[in-house]
Amino acid sequence: MIRSFLSVSAVALLLCGCAQAPLRGTGDLGVVVERATGSLQIIESNTRTALARVEGLGDLSHASVVFSRDQRYAYVFGRDGGLTKVDLLTAKIDRRIMQGGNSIGGAISQDGTLIAVSNYEPGGVKVFDARTLAQVADIPATPLPDGQKRSRVVGLVDAPGQRFVFSLFDTGEIWTADFSQGLTPRIERFTAIGQQPYDALITPDGRYYMAGLFGEDGMAQLDLWHPELGVKRVLGHYGRGQARLPVYKMPHLEGWALADRHAFVPAVGHHQVLVMDAASWQQTDAIDVAGQPVFVTARPDGRQLWVNFAYPDNDRVQVIDTQTHAIVADLHPGPAVLHMEFTARGDQLWLSARDGGEVQVWNPYRLERLGTLPAASPSGIFFSSRAHKPGY
């Protein structure tokens, strides 16, 4: 794909008398979401630089990104319902559609041909051809009692077998949509899974889908190898329901971590990171941290966790040793640290300091800051290496 693109570009440049653009790959590229201006910065991890800015992406206040298999295209899901396909090599919008009214995320299928978007308005999931962004399926969510609206959809992930899995916030359900036999999906519904599933994660092998519950204690777990067993509850004794603590920012379960045979997840409303045995899914520990955790991000070798926090502790990042569960560093990178992303091999940690107007690059082994890049209210950081990770 890239060779073909470059050969066509080279011909065009020769015809116009211009110098040929240098060849480049896509493996060390990524994007930074600039939520204030509806734009993306295309970044390069190798040189720790910003290469270009792409504008005109709409409301990116809760934006997320997935990548094509060749890592050339970024698919951006905007809060305003926009779905934008961005070419990382040309730094231009390839295609853009308005597919809904209020969207909070999406996923790309196992074979890279389908893009699914989860919507608050209209409630449900829409699925598109990854090449053209033509709609190929519409999966309306369960209607609400008023008959006017449908349940909001959250926690959408891709799963092995050309499936998508998602949760229905208002009606307490988990659905799977199987596209393995074509563009008419086989839908399987699991009801009464718990009150208000707010986000979800999937294990790296694609076996377990786990939805956090906001309306009651615990998490709901679906074994995708054995869906006939239904949904079971894990961490049933834990949750916001115990004390009804105020929640200043919902934790992001896609920011969970699996390391040293344990799962580490942010606690809702508590100043803790919860630890579960990844075989039995029983809680083994609770690590006290500085505030309400938002993301718990593991270094790729599994030796460290980097944790950021909701307001008023969102200027801090704490680093946890996954073996001892001790906090080994308490950093203050800047105001409103929103997101953290490791490079694929773990040599760099990139983080966004929204209110500081910058992105920082850290050496996670020496705990040293390597540099900064200016950005307009940066939030999400996404590297193209996500293209080859299930659930991303």
175 touches 192 (CB < 8 A): no
Structure tokens at 91: 């730094």
Q: How far apart are CA 140 and CA 125, in angstroms?
A: 6
Across the range 73-102, mean pLDDT stands at: 97
The CATH code for residues 99-247 is: 2.130.10.10
Across the range 311-330, mean pLDDT stands at: 96
pLDDT digits over 73-83, tens only?
999 999 999 99
273 touches 305 (CB < 8 A): yes
Q: Say if residue 266's pLDDT is above 70.
A: yes
* pLDDT band, residue 312 (cuts 50/70/90): very high
Torsion-angle region of 70 (φ positive above 0: left; ψ -120 to 50: alpha; else: beta):
alpha
Q: Where are the domains of the chain?
A: 99-247, 250-332
pLDDT at residue 355, as a whole number: 95
DSSP type of residue 279: T
* pLDDT band, residue 258 (cuts 50/70/90): confident
pLDDT at residue 82, as a whole number: 97
Q: How far apart are CA 264 and CA 249, in angstroms?
A: 18
Buried b (16+ CB within 10 A) or exposed e, 230-261: ebebbbeebbbbeeeeeeeebbbbbbbbbbee
Q: Who contacts 190 (Cβ-Cβ below 8 Å, separation ≥6)?
A: 173, 174, 175, 222, 227, 230, 231
pLDDT at residue 199, as a whole number: 87
pLDDT digits over 15-32, tens only?
344 556 688 889 999 999
Q: Who contacts 281 (Cβ-Cβ below 8 Å, separation ≥6)?
A: 208, 221, 234, 263
Number of residues in the chain: 392
Collapsed DSSP state (helix, strand, coil) of residue 26: coil
Structure tokens at 246: 């105020």
pLDDT at residue 246, as a whole number: 56
DSSP type of residue 255: G
Torsion-angle region of 182 (φ positive above 0: left; ψ -120 to 50: alpha; else: beta):
left
pLDDT at residue 23, as a whole number: 86
Across the range 314-323, mean pLDDT stands at: 96
Amino acid at 97: I
Q: Say if residue 104's pLDDT is above 70.
A: yes
Collapsed DSSP state (helix, strand, coil) of residue 354: helix
pLDDT at residue 13, as a whole number: 38
pLDDT digits over 30-54, tens only?
999 999 999 999 999 999 999 999 9
pLDDT digits over 160-187, tens only?
999 999 999 999 999 999 999 999 999 9
Instruction: Count the Cβ atoms, other than its own, within 10 Å of residue 264.
Output: 26
Give how far Cα 101 sits from Cα of 10, 122, 307, Å: 40, 7, 32
* pLDDT band, residue 198 (cuts 50/70/90): confident
The CATH code for residues 250-332 is: 2.40.10.480
pLDDT at residue 248, as a whole number: 47
* pLDDT band, residue 6 (cuts 50/70/90): very low
Q: Over the chain, what is the mean pLDDT? A: 90
Q: Say if residue 255's pLDDT is above 70.
A: no
Share of residues in the chain with pLDDT > 90 (%): 76
Across the range 200-216, mean pLDDT stands at: 89
Residue whose token pair is 């790729």: 300
Q: Say if residue 370's pLDDT is above 80.
A: yes
Q: Who contacts 51 (Cβ-Cβ below 8 Å, separation ≥6)?
A: 29, 42, 43, 44, 91
